Every structure is written in C-alpha cells, then in structure tokens.
Amino acid sequence: KRKLVIDVDPGVDDAQAIMVALATPNVEVLGITCCHGNTPVDNVCKNTLRILKVCNRLDIPVYRGCTEPLLGRKIHAGDFHGKDGLGDAPDPDAPGLELLQKEGAVTAMIRMISENPGEVHLVATAPLTNLAMAVKLDPAISEKLKGLYIMGGNTDSRGNTTVCGEFNFVADPEAAYIVLNRFFCPTYIATWEFSCRNNLPWSFCDPWLAQDTDKARFMKRIFSHTMQMVQTERFEKEMVAGVGFTSCDTYAMAAAIDDTFVTECEQVAVTVELEGRYTRGMMVLDPVEMLKKQHKVNIMKTVDLEKLKKMLMDSLK
Ligand code: BDR
Ligand code: CA
C-alpha cells in the first residue's frame, strides 16, 4: 500500500482531499497532522475528527500541530470556509479533542517518516509551519520521503489572499521559504493559478452531492457556505478557465495517490518572497537559474480531470 502522511487545516477542500485518500483502496494513511490555517488549530483538529467519524475511520491517529506561523501575523479564512472551518454547519455529536494523540504533530511527522524511510508520500494542504518545524528539528526527513505534494503558492501575481499571495504561503511565508529550500525529495506543487485553470464545472456538484450516503450529506452541509461564496463576482474573476469550482487541496492529494494524475509539469527552482509590500509570501520561480539551486520542483500544469471527478465521486460513496 502507498503510505501517506497528511498535513491539513480543514477547510472544506482539505475535507474533500482527506475523503479522497480514505476512499482509495491502495492507500494507507499513517496519520493526519493538524496545523493552524483556515481556522484556529483546535477547530482544525475537531474538523479532522469529524471527517474521520463520518468516514468511519477514527482509528487513524490525529496530531495537534502549530498554533501560529513562525514569524508573521496569524490569519484565517473564515469568510471562505466558515468561521469554524467547515461551513458553520455544526455537528452536535462531533468527537471531542480527547481523541487526539498525546504526541505533537511535528515529532509525529518526523517519527512516521523515519519509521518508513523511502516510503512516505507527504501531502501538505495547510500553511507549512509543521513541515518547517519538522525539517529544522530533523533535516534528514527530507531525503527519507518518497515525495512531497503541496497545495500552495502562486506563479504570477494572481493571489487569493493578498494581491500576489495565495493563502497557505501568505499564512506563513517563512515556513514556505524553509520548506522550499530544505526539502530535496521529489516535490509536486499545485499552485493557486493551476487550481483555477483546472476547475470543475458546477454541474459536477449535482450528481456528486446527490449521492444517497452520509458522506454526501455531510459534504453538502459543509460545502454550501463556500458554494455560495464562490458564485460571486469576485470569485468568477478568479476562475481563469471559465466559471467553476476548484477543490485545490484535492489536486495535491490526487497527485500523491495516482502517479498518472499529473499529465504535465514545469520543472523549475523556486523560492518564496519574504519582503515586499504586495509580494510577501509570493512564490518566486527561477527559470533562468540565477539562484543556482540544484533542486527543482514540479509545478503542476495539466492533470486528468476525469480521474479527479471519479476520485471525488468515489469519495462520497
Ligand atoms: C488553500 O487555502 C485554503 O483556504 C485552502 O484550504 C487551500 O489549502 C487555497 O489557497
Ligand atoms: Ca487547506
């Protein structure tokens, strides 16, 4: 089985990505590490447990991670994902935080990678604080990974949180910088522009969410706040390839679980801007190789959207 460690901040699209992983037969999720991001970390932990409960997978260990970015100001995305991170559609029977593991997310991440050298696919769909802390504590983890799959960053000045900045990178620019300069394993990045260009038509949501299962009913409840948000003028401007919705985090997940999902990549050295009035947190590409970096990442360009639709459909069955 393909071994995954997932670092998340659910977040509705994180929930979609986690549910895709759980529905994939050849995947074993070793653990889920939680990070501040769309909502404060305790909400993130609670949301992760809610997702696992609806999927009947509370056996998967969940770890609480960093509460704030390394240096900058803490930000959340309540407008988009709901204040509680999952569309403000509370569940009175949500599992309690006593189900969390005692071990912290950063040490758990290092341990899970070290116990399975060369085997772990690390999927990161939150601000990169936990990963940055982990690689500072144990730089050897970077070469022990089979692959790193990140949702975050942007390749031109199209941001979703600041003019030029994507949420996960803007929420902790220093962490993004450390990760992109200290992880030397094969790395795949689903950027914000890529996600917008590869969006799915709204018509997909009807059959997807109309499935007669608890998982589909759960998704419909937590997704409705975001669905309303996204169908506004601002977001229509953002979706470059015509109107639709993008489950950003699911692209990183799909790339991790199926090697044939990504059909075209740009291989390039990258770093992150840490200063700049408009550009702090922006990913910087170095196609001319001025930074003289050996390590190149794979920026996803095109993917098999039919495969993505099938994964999303199956995830709610
Ligand atoms: C990213 O930011 C978060 O709001 C989403 O969960 C996704 O990880 C998109 O910019
Ligand atoms: Ca996320």
Tell me the per-residue pLDDT of 38-66, one tens digit each, with 9 for 90 and over. Answer: 999 999 999 999 999 999 999 999 999 99
Handedness of CA 104, 108, 111, 115 (dihedral sign): positive
Pocket of ligand 1 (CB under 6 A): 11, 13-14, 38, 77, 80, 125, 151, 160, 166-168, 192, 248-249
Pocket test for ligand 1, best of 12, 13, 80, 169 (most atoms within 8 A of CB): 13
Residue 179 predicted with pLDDT over 70? yes
Sequence-ordered list of residues with C-beta below 8 angstroms from that of 104, at least 6 positions apart, any chain? 63, 64, 65
pLDDT tens, position by position, 228-281? 877 766 566 665 556 688 999 999 999 999 999 999 999 999 999 999 999 999
9 is catalytic: yes
Question: Per residue in 192-205, pLDDT tens?
Answer: 999 989 999 888 99
- Ligand 2 ion: Cβ-proximal residues, 5 Å cutoff: 9, 11, 14, 125, 249
Looking at residue 162, the DSSP 8-state letter turns out to be B
Q: Which residue has the higher pLDDT, 163 or 234?
A: 163
Pick the closest to residue 127 from 68, 169, 166 (CA basis). 169
**If you average pLDDT over residues 161-174, what whole number do you get?**
96
Active-site position among 9, 14, 172, 258: 9
Nearest atom, ligand 1, residue 195 CA: 9
Summary mean pLDDT of the chain: 95
Put simply, whether the predicted model's pTM sits higher than 0.90 gets the answer yes
Residue nearest to atom 2 of ligand 1 (CA): 167
Q: Find the radius of gyration of the CA atoms of the chain.
A: 18
Ligand 1 atom with least separation from CA of 160: 10
CA distance 236 to 239: 5
ipTM of predicted complex: 0.98
